[in-house]
Amino acid sequence: MNYYLATRNIYKCSKCKKQFSIIQGTIFERSKIPLTKWFLAMYFLSNAKRGVSSHQMAKFIGVRQPTVWFMMHRLRESSKDANYLILEGEVESDETFVGPNISRDTRLQKAQKEHFEEQERIYGLSKKKKRTMRGFPAKRGRKLGSTKEVLEQKKKEQETKGKRKPFDKHRVVVGFSERNGRIVLRKLGDRSSLTKENVSRELLNYVSTKSILFTDEASVYTEVGAQFADHKSVNHEETYVKGKTHINNIENVWNHYKRTIDGTYFHYSNQHFNRYLDEFVFRWNSRNESEQSIFNSLLSMSFGKRLDYKTLIKDSPPKSRPKRKKAA
């Protein structure tokens, strides 16, 4: 038997004498924000076609931006079940590269500059920088010695120092879409992660082998396509539609997702990449439902998924503080 403690606004169990609240075990647990503002945030986030930034959400519900940022990540955590589905029927598959626009993010510009400085310290100046530097000697012949000696010298340098690493903030996302139905989007990693093994693993995890698979003619689908009921591919160099064989649905998903990233979440961190994917997938899979139904779905998924702040910012890079100028 439970009874209500009006002085503390909580409940207490008459057997074990433990006190608890109605929001215990949900994403709202131990939050000082009223549930009315939580529900407003849930409504705006679940019904905005291309998402809502934390700055805009702070104006909508009247809460500070850092608090809203934490709230929105807890809501994204609750929506992750929408991205764990088994698709069946006619399913399209494709992959794309997603990354922030460096020209719009000063933090990435600073990180890029530090990366290139570190690479130059290890490997020396790059060929591109040598060509643009003033005062560089006009005579740019190859190193003295035979071609064989030069190749051996370069090989020894690569073995000792390794290869120069490019500054690449783009991530590979593989997507699966039912014809006029649900989608699943999964992050693979950087460009080197686009392999047959990784794509095959995600395909077999989230698409039923009884399905008919539609892809382009990428080599990553050649072997795994044989494990499905049927595998049809289209050559994008010649045509985009060949009867029923096309991947226009998943291409439409990429169009909307990239507009969401470029227009709303252009300052997102790769540390929270999967949460933004889950939010987009939840909104897409419930796009044909009513606003009330979408809100109820998100509310029902909020149980048992409490996300505390320490877990959210775990393994995040430390923030660099500007050095203070000494007083004269």
The residue ranges of every structural domain in the chain are 25-79+289-318, 82-102+168-268
Q: What is the mean pLDDT of residues 219-231?
A: 93
Per-residue pLDDT, averaged over 268-297, amounts to: 92
Nearest to 98 by CA among 276, 298, 221, 302: 276
Q: What is the pLDDT of residue 326?
A: 52
Give mean pLDDT, residues 306-314.
87
Dihedral over Cα of 79, 81, 84, 85: its sign: negative
Burial of 132 (0-12, 13-18, 19+ CB in 10 A): exposed
Q: Smallest Cα–Cα separation from 76: which of 310, 313, 311, 298?
A: 298
Cβ-based burial of 321 (10 A; exposed 0-12, middle 13-18, buried ≥19): exposed
Round to whole Å and give the CA distance between 249 and 133.
48
* CA–CA separation, 8 and 26 (whole Å): 19
Q: Are 93 and 247 in contact (CB under 8 A)?
A: yes
Does residue 11 contact residue 22 with C-beta atoms inside 8 Å?
A: yes
For residue range 44-88, what is the model confidence (pLDDT) as tens digits?
Answer: 999 998 999 999 999 999 999 999 999 999 999 999 988 999 999
Tell me which fold the domain 82-102+168-268 belongs to: Nucleotidyltransferase; domain 5 (3.30.420)
pLDDT at 248: 92
The residue type at 260 = T
Residue 272 reports pLDDT greater than 60: yes
Give tens-digit pLDDT for 134-188.
555 544 554 555 567 766 766 676 666 667 777 777 889 999 999 988 999 999 9
Predicted local distance difference test score (pLDDT) of residue 328? 47
pTM: 0.80
Q: Specify the pLDDT at position 4.
A: 76
Per-residue pLDDT band at 319 (split at 50, 70, 90): low
The confidence band for 17, taking pLDDT boundaries of 50, 70 and 90, is confident
